[in-house]
Amino acid sequence: MIKTVLVGKKKEKFADPPLFNERKEYRPADVKETGLAFVGHEISEDRTVMNQFLHYDQLYTIRHGWNSRFFIGLLDGKIMGTHCPKCGDSWVPVRTHCWNLNCNLEKTEWVEMPLTAKVNTWTVAGWSGRSSLKRLPIILVYANIGSSKVAMANELHGLDPWDVEFGMPLKIVFKPKEQRIGAVTDFHFEPADFWKPSPMNNEKQRIKDMVAPVYEWVQTLK
Ligand SMILES: [Zn+2]
């Protein structure tokens, strides 16, 4: 009896559950959810060491909660950020509360960010997961979108790896609407239309020499 009363009281603290009236499935036909399964093991000659093989394949639900508008924005080809109504700082990836001590954890508000960014830092990947091997070398940047005080990671396309510069202006390019899934891979960065690479120098040449073998190796992939 007591337990029932407590549960009832507790429930009142929560908002009404959302009504999900838009649902999309894009699971590839060949995915079989087998859950977590022990699929084998190996034991050393002297039977003192054992390895077990665990197949880990199951459906997860990522509940985005308050952050949902960022991911819904991606589906709509928008970058949604948050800003503090007190001090004006803004963020993508988003923050729920302002980080400035003087703002006393002020709740942030949603704002649509411009589709422009600036390189904060970057690296060139010469290795990757199997699905991206043929696209190597890949330029990964952390970029500040619009006026965001924090940087967001994504791929930079449309230029040679040795031409990337700190602070270079970028634009955000979305996949066609029908290909978007509400993940950060729905967009990538490209150089701003007005940007031109600076002339070759020693540092650029060093990077060019380093990625040459990667380009060569990718050519050998089938
Ligand atoms: Zn603030």
Report the C-alpha dihedral over residues 165, 166, 167, 172, rounded to 10 degrees. Answer: 70
For residue 88, the CA-to-ligand 1 centroid distance in Å is: 6
The answer to whether 70 touches 94, Cβ cutoff 8 Å, is yes
How far, in Å, from the CA of 149 to the mean position of ligand 1?
A: 12
Each residue of 103-136: b (16+ CB within 10 Å) or e?
A: beebebeebebebbbbbbebebbbeeeeeeeeeb
Residue 159 CA to ligand 1 centre (angstroms): 37
What is the distance in A from the centroid of ligand 1 to the CA of 103? 5
**Do residues 152 and 93 make contact, with C-beta atoms less than 8 angstroms apart?**
yes
Between the CA of 95 and the centroid of ligand 1 the distance, in Å, is: 11
Q: How far is the CA of 67 from the centre of ligand 1 (A)?
A: 18
Q: How far is the CA of 140 from the centre of ligand 1 (A)?
A: 30
Question: How far is the centre of ligand 1, averaged over its atoms, from the C-alpha of 107 (Å)?
Answer: 9
**In the prediction, which pLDDT does 55 show?**
84
Q: Give the Å distance between the CA of 86 and the centre of ligand 1.
A: 5
Q: What distance in angstroms lies between residue 205's CA and the mean position of ligand 1's atoms?
A: 43
Task: Please give the distance, rounded to the nearest whole angstrom, from the Cα atom of residue 167 to the centre of ligand 1.
Answer: 25
Distance in Å, CA 101 to ligand 1 centroid: 8
Distance from residue 63's CA to the centre of ligand 1 (Å): 26
| pTM for the full predicted model | 0.83
Predicted local confidence at residue 60, as pLDDT: 85
pLDDT tens series, the chain, 222 aa = 444 444 455 555 567 788 888 888 888 888 777 788 888 999 999 988 989 998 888 888 888 988 999 999 999 999 999 999 999 999 999 999 999 999 999 999 999 999 999 999 999 999 998 889 999 999 999 999 999 999 999 999 999 999 999 999 999 999 999 999 999 999 999 999 999 999 999 999 999 999 999 999 999 998
Residue given tokens 């830092």 in the structure block: 121
Beta bridge partners, 52, equal 41
